[in-house]
């Protein structure tokens, strides 16, 4: 494993949004002024006591934070190695970590006088979290979602509609998350005066990767306090799934300078990395430019983005946040991948052994923890980010077993 001699990992990005060679701003000129306006407001309000107090109050009373850390003692015993703890982001309002960020960005939108919210969504969790905060703040909300994802996440589509959002099906390209992002960008370019674009992950042009990280870092900040109280010390390893990478960076970021803590990001290996049917740009892709930033991508030799595959809609994305690309290159985090089948096995294991139904996205992190635990001692600790609950996935899992719900 490559190691880095950096003093600190908290000095990224630079003022232009670069994480080493990654990140930056790669968008059409029409968006440049809007991104500048967003950056200035984000920098201002992140220092603003009133804003932070309002955010804190919402996270406490509306989202239900802090989310607990839970010792999965029975599962740990079964695996016969390290103790596995779960950061329970699945217990947040709306059922995933996504709301941490949408609350923050929506409060920012309100401060900036924007009346219309747009978002892209893959699994629908970010769309639901956006529709939720838009409903609460009385803002118009349009969510772009790939036509393929609309079919596999029907329940979330209905949830968004109940919340008053308009869900627009995206029929271009592969009709999944990346195409929804393209379409949301096009909407933003067209309606730039009154519209705030809430990106759901740590990708996109600066300041999104840094801003979404800062809103999600509450996960790691809490965990860093909770672990010593509950387990007597910091964990030996952190494990989180990585699609765009927002739940992962949220957990990892506050621990980056705790160099004794190993960090593992888990990508979706789909049918297996060797088959090419996967969504693992960090493990099997290479750098390129997409969706406003430079990062690792799934692309062909001509620079065309290739279609990804994962059982989990939330991980089915050909790019990844630029900070992850940087953490990979400097060796601070290791990126690994688990297959659809491994994730499914972990999904069932946690459900049956701990009585917690995890999201298929989070099941990727669990699957890697299940591999890692037996290689470690019983007094060592793995903290897994349980980024979302699995209710939304029961149709997918049932269908695989030939059951129609």
Residue (269 or 290) nearer to another protein, CB:
290
Residue 98 bears catalytic tag = yes
Q: Which of 290, 327, 338, 344 binds another protein (CB under 8 A)?
A: 290
- Site membership for another protein, residue 210 (CB under 8 A): no
Residue (4 or 190) nearer to another protein, CB:
190
To which residue do tokens 């006088």 refer?
Answer: 113
Q: How far is the CB of 209 from another protein (least distance, A)?
A: 15
| Given the residues 89, 183, 387, 392, the one annotated as active site | 387
- Site membership for another protein, residue 222 (CB under 8 A): no
- Site membership for another protein, residue 15 (CB under 8 A): no
- Site membership for another protein, residue 173 (CB under 8 A): yes
Number of alpha carbons in the 13 Å side-chain half-sphere of residue 352? 7
Q: Which of 19, 34, 207, 393 binds another protein (CB under 8 A)?
A: 34
- Site membership for another protein, residue 178 (CB under 8 A): yes
67 contacts 223 by C-beta, under 8 angstroms: no
Q: How many CB atoms lie within 10 A of CB 96?
A: 27
- Site membership for another protein, residue 21 (CB under 8 A): no
CA dihedral 250, 252, 257, 258 (to 10 degrees): 130
275 contacts 308 by C-beta, under 8 angstroms: no
Instruction: Please enumerate in sequence order all residues whose Cβ is within 8 A of that of 10, keeping only pairs 6 or more positions apart, or say none.
Output: 256, 257
Q: How far is the CB of 322 from another protein (least distance, A)?
A: 13
Strand pairing partners for 96?
388
Residue 114 bears catalytic tag = no
Say how far apart CA 201 and CA 101 lie, in whole Å.
9
| Given the residues 67, 76, 114, 120, the one annotated as active site | 120
Say how far apart CA 64 and CA 269 lie, in whole Å.
33
Say how far apart CA 205 and CA 234 lie, in whole Å.
33
Residue 178 bears catalytic tag = no
What are the catalytic residues?
98, 120, 387
Which residues form the interface with another protein (CB under 8 A)?
16, 24-34, 172-173, 178-179, 182, 185-186, 189-193, 287-292, 294, 297, 299, 301-306
């Amino acid at each position: 494993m490559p190691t880095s001699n950096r003093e600190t990992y908290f000095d990224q990005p630079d003022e232009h949004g670069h994480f080493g060679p990654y990140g930056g701003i790669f968008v059409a000129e029409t968006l440049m002024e809007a991104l500048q306006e967003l950056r200035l407001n984000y920098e201002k309000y992140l220092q603003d006591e009133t804003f932070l107090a309002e955010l804190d109050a919402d996270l406490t009373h509306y989202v239900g934070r802090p989310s607990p850390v839970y010792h999965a003692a029975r599962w740990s015993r079964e695996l016969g190695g390290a103790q596995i703890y779960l950061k329970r982001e699945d217990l947040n309002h709306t059922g995933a970590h996504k709301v941490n960020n949408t609350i923050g960005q929506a409060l920012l939108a309100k401060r900036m006088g924007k009346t219309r919210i747009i978002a892209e969504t893959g699994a629908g969790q970010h769309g639901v979290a956006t529709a939720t905060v838009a409903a609460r703040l009385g803002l118009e909300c349009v969510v772009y979602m790939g036509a393929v994802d609309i079919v596999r996440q029907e329940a979330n589509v209905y949830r968004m509609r109940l919340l008053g959002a308009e869900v627009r099906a995206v029929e271009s390209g592969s009709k999944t998350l990346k195409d929804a992002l393209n379409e949301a960008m096009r909407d933003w370019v067209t309606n730039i005066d009154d519209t705030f674009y809430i990106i759901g992950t740590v990708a996109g042009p600066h300041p999104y990767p840094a801003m979404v990280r800062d809103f999600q870092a509450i996960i790691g900040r809490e965990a860093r306090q909770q672990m010593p109280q509950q387990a007597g010390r910091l964990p030996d390893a952190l494990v989180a799934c990585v699609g765009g990478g927002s739940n992962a960076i949220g957990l990892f970021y506050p621990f980056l300078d705790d160099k004794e803590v190993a960090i593992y990001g888990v990508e979706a290996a789909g049918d297996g990395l060797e088959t090419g049917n996967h969504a693992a740009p960090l493990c099997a892709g290479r750098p390129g430019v997409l969706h406003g930033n430079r990062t690792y991508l799934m692309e062909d030799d001509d620079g065309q983005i290739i279609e990804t595959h994962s059982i989990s809609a939330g991980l089915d994305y050909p790019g990844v946040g630029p900070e992850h690309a940087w953490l990979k290159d400097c060796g601070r985090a290791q990126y690994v991948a688990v297959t659809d089948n491994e994730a499914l096995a972990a999904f069932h294991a946690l459900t049956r052994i701990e009585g917690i139904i995890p999201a298929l996205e989070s099941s990727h992190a669990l699957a890697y923890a299940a591999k890692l635990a037996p290689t470690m001692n019983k007094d060592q600790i793995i903290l897994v980010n349980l980024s979302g609950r699995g209710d939304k996935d029961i149709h997918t899992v049932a269908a695989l077993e030939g059951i129609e719900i």
